[in-house]
């Protein structure tokens, strides 16, 4: 009985902590998907998956890292599934679906020199690394764990992402 009460308290605490994470989860999801509706779908799927898998969360560790990792996995799977469907659609001669990696959004945007447009055009893996470290403030080690890649891969992706962003924004940079 006592342990059940404790478990309920844990759930309450986790629910509050998760609710407080929602704005950050939305921000990261937008960095990953580059489309507002997809981002919020991804946040919803992430929360639902996380709550169903709470047994896999180690109390006392960072809930945010754990949830970012779930989100990043869900997004990676979505990209992979989407690519498979695109190939099938191409083989069937169909026009295919809109791209999920933001390139469509970039093409639709009139001003390509905004940071948003530049971000759209980054590779999804580079974008994830850049947003985790540059916006979400994770260390390289934490980002490597969230992305499930070696730390050297994080630094490579970061360097390439930063250079590409710089190339896109450099000329438009306000010298002031």
Residues numbered 64 to 83 that lie near another protein (CB under 8 A) are 64, 76, 79-80, 82-83
In the complex, least distance from residue 60 CB atom to another protein, rounded to whole angstroms: 19
Distance in Å, CB of 52 to another protein, minimum: 7
Assess 90 for contact with another protein (CB under 8 A): yes
- Which residue, 6 or 90, is less far from another protein as judged by CB? 90
Between CA 12 and CA 173 the distance in angstroms is 47
Query: Rule CB under 8 A: is residue 10 a binding residue for another protein?
Result: no
- Angle in degrees, 0-180, between the axes of helices 36-52 and 63-91, rounded to the nearest 10: 120
Question: 28 near 68, Cβ under 8 Å?
Answer: yes
| Six token digits for residue 62 | 């960072």
Q: How many residues bind another protein, per CB under 8 A?
A: 76
Output the furthest CA–CA distance in the chain (Å, rounded).
66
Nearest approach, Cβ of residue 1 and another protein (Å): 12
* Chosen residue from 33, 38, 47, 67 binding another protein by CB under 8 A: 47
Tell which one of 71, 130, 144, 146 touches another protein (CB under 8 A): 130
* DSSP per-residue string spanning 1-65: -HHHHHHHHHHHHHHHHHHHHHHHHHHHHHHHH-SHHHHHHHHHHHHHHHHHTGGGS-TTS-HHH
> Is 112 one of the binding residues for another protein (CB under 8 A)?
no
Query: Residue 98 interacts with another protein (CB under 8 A)?
Result: yes
Minimum distance from CB of 118 to another protein (Å)?
Answer: 8
- Alpha-carbon distance of 112 to 40, in angstroms, equals 24
Residue 101 binding another protein, by CB under 8 A: yes
- 108 contributes a contact to another protein by CB under 8 A: no
């Amino acid at each position: 009985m006592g342990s059940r009460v404790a478990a309920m308290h844990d759930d309450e605490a986790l629910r509050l902590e998760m609710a407080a994470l929602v704005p950050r989860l939305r921000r990261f999801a937008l960095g990953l998907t580059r489309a507002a509706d997809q981002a919020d779908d991804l946040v919803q799927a992430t929360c639902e998956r996380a709550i169903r898998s709470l047994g896999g969360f180690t109390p006392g560790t960072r809930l945010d890292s754990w949830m970012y990792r779930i989100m990043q996995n869900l997004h990676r799977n979505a990209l992979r599934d989407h690519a498979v469907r695109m190939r099938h659609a191409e083989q069937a001669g169909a026009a295919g679906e809109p791209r999920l990696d933001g390139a469509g959004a970039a093409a639709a945007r009139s001003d390509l020199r905004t940071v948003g447009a530049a971000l759209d055009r980054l590779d999804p893996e580079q974008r994830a690394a850049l947003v985790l470290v540059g916006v979400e403030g994770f260390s390289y080690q934490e980002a490597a764990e969230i992305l499930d890649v070696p730390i050297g891969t994080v630094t490579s992706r970061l360097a390439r992402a930063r250079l590409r962003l710089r190339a896109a924004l450099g000329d438009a940079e306000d010298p002031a």
